[in-house]
C-alpha cells in the first residue's frame, strides 16, 4: 500500500482527532494532516463533503473514501495496516474489554472533561467530582501495567491519551492536582509522551490551556 | 466450543438487548436467555455483578466472563463463532461503514424513538419529525438491497431491527404511517421477520405498544 493516499482531517486540540492520527503514526503510514479551523466554526468544503452526516472531525480519507468517527477510524487503520504495531488485542475477550473501556471514556469522561473549561460554579464542581471518579475507575483498569494495552501501547491508550493534553486545563479551572488524585494515570501519560508518535502529535498542555481560555471568553465565562 | 456456557441477560422490549440475542441465534449458539425485570427497576444481583459500571442489559456471559454493551457483544460473538453466518463484512472499508451506521442509529435514532412514547405535545412532534428524517437517511443507506448487509443479513440489520418491533408504538403516538414515509424500511422489516432468528426473538408490535402504554402511565403521561 505504498501508493495509498491517506489524508486526515483533524483539529489540533480535539481529544477525538488525535486518535486516528496516533494510530497512523504507530503504523508508520504516510499521511497528509489537514487542520480544520473549527474555532471560528468555518468548516471546509472537504469536511462537509466527506462527513455530511455529522460534519465533524476526525475524518480519515483513504484513497478518496471517508472513514468517520475516531474509534471506527482507529479500527480501520488497525485492520488495513495489520502487519505493524497491532492496536487492538488479538484475543476476542481482550478486544471486547478494550472496546468497552474506550466506549466508557466517550460516554463518561468526555462530558465532565468538557465542562471543566465551559462551566463555572456548582456545575464546574460537579464536573470535577465526576471527572475524578471516572479517572479513578480508569486508574483501576490500568493497574500496574505500563500501558492500558499491557506491555504494548494500544487501542485504549489511544482512546485516552488526548485527554492527557488537557490535564493542565482541568487542574487550572478545577483548582486541584490530578497527580494527587490519580498518580498512576499521570505516570502513564508521561510514559506515553516518551513515545515519538505521541510526543509529536499531542498538543502542549500550556497551549491547550490558552485555547481553553479563548473558548471561555467566546462563551462569555471570562 | 460445544461445552461453552453462554448466558444472555436481556429485557424483551429493549432495542439493545435484541442485538446479541439475534447474533447468537444467527450463529446457532446454544445459550440461556435470562429476562431482567426492568420495569419495576429491580436489577438482579447477577446483572449488578456482571455490569457494575453501567448496570444495564444486554450482558453476554461467556464461560463466566461478561461482555457488556450491545455492539461490543455482537462483535465478540462474530469473532468467537466466526465459522458460521459472518455478521460484519470482511472488507475493512465495508466494516467501517457498517460500524458507522450502527453508531448513527444509537446516536441519532434512539433519542427521538424513545420520545415517541415518553413525551407529548411539541416535544413529541419534534421527535416525530426527527425520527422520520433519520429513518429516511437509513432508507437511503438500504437502497434497493435485500438487507443492509446486501444479500446477507448482518451487523447493521441487527443494529436496527429492534426498532422495527416498536414501529406500531411510534405510529400510534405519532399518528402517522411509517410505511407511507419509508416504504423500503418497512419492507425490510417484514423481510427480516421472515427469518426464524428474528421472528422468534423480536417482540410482537402490539405487545410493545401495551408496554409503552404502561410506561406512559408510570411517568404520568396517561
For chain B, which domains are there? 6-80 (3.40.30.10), 92-219 (1.20.1050.10)
Q: Are B134 and B108 in contact (CB under 8 A)?
A: yes
Is the CB of residue A92 less than 8 Å away from at least one CB of chain B? yes
Written as nine digits, the cell of B11 is 429485557
Q: How far is B194 from chain A (nearest CA, A)?
A: 31
Predicted ipTM of the assembly:
0.96
Q: Is B65's Cβ below 8 Å from some Cβ in A? A: yes
Task: Give the cell for residue B21.
Answer: 440475542
Dist CA B19 CA A84 (whole Å): 33
B67 shares contact with chain A (CB less than 8 Å): yes
Q: Where on the phi/psi map is residue B80: left (φ > 0), alpha (ψ -120 to 50), or beta?
A: alpha
Show residues of chain A in contact with B53, CB under 8 Å: 104, 137
pLDDT tens, per residue, chain A with 222 residues: 668 999 999 999 999 999 999 999 999 999 999 999 765 567 899 999 999 999 999 999 999 999 999 999 999 999 999 999 999 999 999 999 999 999 999 999 999 999 999 999 999 999 999 999 999 999 999 999 999 999 999 999 999 999 999 999 999 999 999 999 999 999 999 999 999 999 999 999 999 999 999 999 999 998
Q: Is the dihedral of CA B124, B128, B134, B135 positive or negative?
A: positive
Q: Do B100 and A73 touch (CB under 8 A)?
A: no
Q: Is B110 within 8 Å of chain A by CB? A: no
* Chain B contact present for A93, CB below 8 A: yes
Residues of A in contact with B72 (CB under 8 A): 96, 99-100, 103
B164: burial class by Cβ within 10 Å (0-12, 13-18, 19+)? Answer: buried
List, for residues A135-168, the tens digit of each pLDDT value. 999 999 999 999 999 999 999 999 999 999 999 9
Question: Residue B38: is its pLDDT beyond 90?
Answer: no
Determine the residue among B92, B108, B130 to mutate to test chain A binding: the one whose Cβ has the most chain A Cβ atoms within 10 Å. B92
Cis before A184 (ω within 30): no
Its pTM surpasses 0.80: yes
Amino acid at each position: 500500500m505504498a501508493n495509498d493516499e491517506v489524508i486526515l482531517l483533524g483539529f489540533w486540540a480535539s481529544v477525538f482527532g488525535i486518535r486516528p492520527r496516533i494510530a497512523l503514526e504507530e503504523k508508520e503510514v504516510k499521511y497528509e494532516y489537514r487542520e480544520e479551523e473549527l474555532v471560528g466554526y468555518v468548516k471546509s468544503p472537504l469536511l462537509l463533503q466527506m462527513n455530511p452526516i455529522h460534519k465533524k472531525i476526525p475524518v480519515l480519507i483513504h484513497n478518496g473514501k471517508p472513514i468517520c468517527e475516531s474509534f471506527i477510524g482507529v479500527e480501520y487503520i488497525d485492520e488495513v495496516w495489520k502487519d505493524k504495531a497491532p492496536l487492538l488485542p488479538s484475543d476476542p475477550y481482550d478486544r471486547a474489554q478494550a472496546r468497552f473501556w474506550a466506549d466508557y471514556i466517550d460516554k463518561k469522561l468526555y462530558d465532565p472533561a468538557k465542562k471543566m473549561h465551559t462551566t463555572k460554579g456548582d456545575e464546574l464542581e460537579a464536573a470535577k467530582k465526576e471527572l475524578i471518579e471516572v479517572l479513578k475507575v480508569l486508574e483501576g483498569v490500568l493497574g500496574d501495567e505500563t500501558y492500558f494495552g499491557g506491555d504494548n501501547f494500544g487501542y485504549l491508550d489511544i482512546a485516552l491519551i488526548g485527554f492527557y493534553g488537557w490535564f493542565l486545563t482541568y487542574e487550572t479551572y478545577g483548582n486541584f492536582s490530578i497527580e494527587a488524585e490519580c498518580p498512576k494515570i499521570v505516570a502513564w501519560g508521561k510514559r506515553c509522551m516518551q513515545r515519538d508518535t505521541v510526543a509529536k502529535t499531542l498538543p502542549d498542555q500550556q497551549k491547550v490551556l490558552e485555547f481553553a481560555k479563548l473558548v471561555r471568553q467566546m462563551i462569555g465565562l471570562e
